[in-house]
Amino acid sequence: MLRQSMGRAIRAFGLAVGVICVAICIAPSTPAEAAPEALPLPVDRTAILRKDGAVYYIEGRVQIPAGIEVTILNDIRIIGRGPDATIEVVGTLVVHGVGGREVVFENVTVEPQADFKEVHMDMAIFEGGGVKSPKDVSINGHLFLELFDFVRGALLDVRVASGSVELSSVCAETPIKIAIVPPDGATDNKVKVNVRGCGQGQNRRCEPHVNRVGLKGGLDVSGANEIVVRSTRVSGALCAIRNWRKSLIFDACKIQSSRLEVTHSEAGKFVKAQFAKCDIYSPVVLFRAPIKKGKKDTAKVQRFYFGGEGDPKVVLSEIIEDSTDDPEKNGVRVKLDKVKTRAHAMAGPAE
């Protein structure tokens, strides 16, 4: 009797489980959360965009006018529609993302205008597009980029007349180009360019572009009153520093470019330039300026690492190009102080 009762209970339990399974299988599935509707980016009024996951679009050219500040906060995507999706900045554009929830610009160009107030962006990613000045126009204002990625062909290419440019912890697959071009007739400028901490990349959400490393496409900076390149890793075809007006600091960098060029169109500018604690893997390193009687141009290179070569004579003859290679045209003489045989690894590990 007990055995029969247990059998009936087991059969009843099995039937109940079957009914539940069938109910689950035929029950309508919960629809996936719909993608957020893309809205036009508001640029005609001061606004703070803060809704997580929001998507805005740019179609054609839009402008942030003078006196207007647009702030874009974390986990927002800005999508370009069409080939000329451009945000012209006359007022102020501020972007603040957070790690893992960066602000993403997809095929959008941010274009500071001839006279703009500020572009300040951190924890952001450009997938295509980039940050550019208008063609043949020198811009006046302040540009600050931090914890920033340029991928999928995105460019940073600016021509600056006055203000400042600061890059901090930037990774880029394409060449970084910053040219200081004062207005016609001007002989001097007060622009400061600061490139710092652009070393090891971090894992970001825009896969497959992960583990990016520094300025992979190269770096070309020219014409600023003050140039600082510090703790930065540069590869690509060329790393070039040109025509600083007042001062140059080139410190704690890792250079893997095919060529490293430090050049000036005036004599006498190398005497006060500072070169220290860099790891150089470039097979060609050029120091050049014109010859001028009475102007002494000695580049004092302190504690550089040249791929493990510790003999200064070999470094000067096989890696560095200076006045000893072209005494008729080049007035710069390199003086090596304490060539290192172990990499400093301040902008990335030794290769």
pLDDT (tens digit per residue) in 34-92: 667 899 999 999 999 999 999 999 999 999 999 999 999 999 999 999 989 999 999 99
Q: CA nearest 286: which of 227, 251, 240, 336?
A: 240
Alpha-carbon Rg for the chain, nearest whole angstrom, is 28
Give domain status of residue 21, yes or no.
no
In this prediction, residue 31 carries a pLDDT of 53
Give the residue ranges of DSSP H helices in 116-226.
none
For residues 304-333, give the mean pLDDT.
96
Q: Which of 77, 167, 163 is nearest to 131 (CA)?
A: 167
**SS3 state at 12:** helix
Residue 32 in domain: no
- Per-residue pLDDT at 220: 98
**Which carries the bigger pLDDT value, residue 181 or residue 36?**
181
Residue 327, number of CB atoms within 10 A of its CB: 11
Total structural domains in the chain? Answer: 1
Q: Is the pLDDT of residue 256 over 60?
A: yes
- Where are the alpha helices (H) located in the chain, listed in sequence order? 2-26, 312-318
The yes-or-no verdict on residue 24 having pLDDT over 80 is no
pLDDT value at 27 more than 90: no
Residue 305 within a domain: yes
Mean pLDDT over residues 204-210, rounded?
47
pLDDT at 3: 44
Instruction: Examine residue 109 and state whether it is found in any structural domain, yes or no.
Output: yes
| CB-CB contact of 317 with 291 (8 Å) | no
What is residue 143's predicted lDDT score, i.e. its pLDDT?
98
Q: What is the DSSP string of 191-216?
A: -EEEEE---B----SSTT--S-BSBT
Any domain includes 12: no
Is 250 a domain residue?
Answer: yes
27 within domain boundaries:
no
* Pairwise CA distance, residues 74 & 96, whole Å: 6
- Amino acid (one-letter) located at 8: R
* Ranges 59-68, 165-174, 185-194: which has the least confidence: 185-194
Q: Give the mean model confidence (pLDDT) for residues 120-129.
A: 96
Three-class DSSP labels, 223-261: CCCEEEEECCEECCCEEEEECCCCEEEEECCEECCCEEE
User: What is the pTM (predicted TM-score) of this model?
Assistant: 0.87
Residue 180 near residue 223 (C-beta atoms within 8 A): yes
pLDDT of residue 182: 86
In this structure, the number of other CB atoms found within 10 A of the CB of residue 57 comes to 17
The answer as to whether 220 is a domain residue is yes
Identify the band that residue 348 occupies on the pLDDT scale cut at 50, 70 and 90.
confident
Q: What tokens appear for 85 in the block?
A: 């999706």
Average pLDDT over residues 1-12: 46
What does the pLDDT read at residue 350? 84
d(CA 109, CA 90) in angstroms, rounded, equals 14
Q: Which residue has the tokens 């860099």?
A: 278
- Chain position carrying tokens 């300025």: 215
Coil, helix or strand at residue 26: helix
Residue 129 has pLDDT above 60, yes or no: yes
The residue range of the domain holding 94 is 73-337
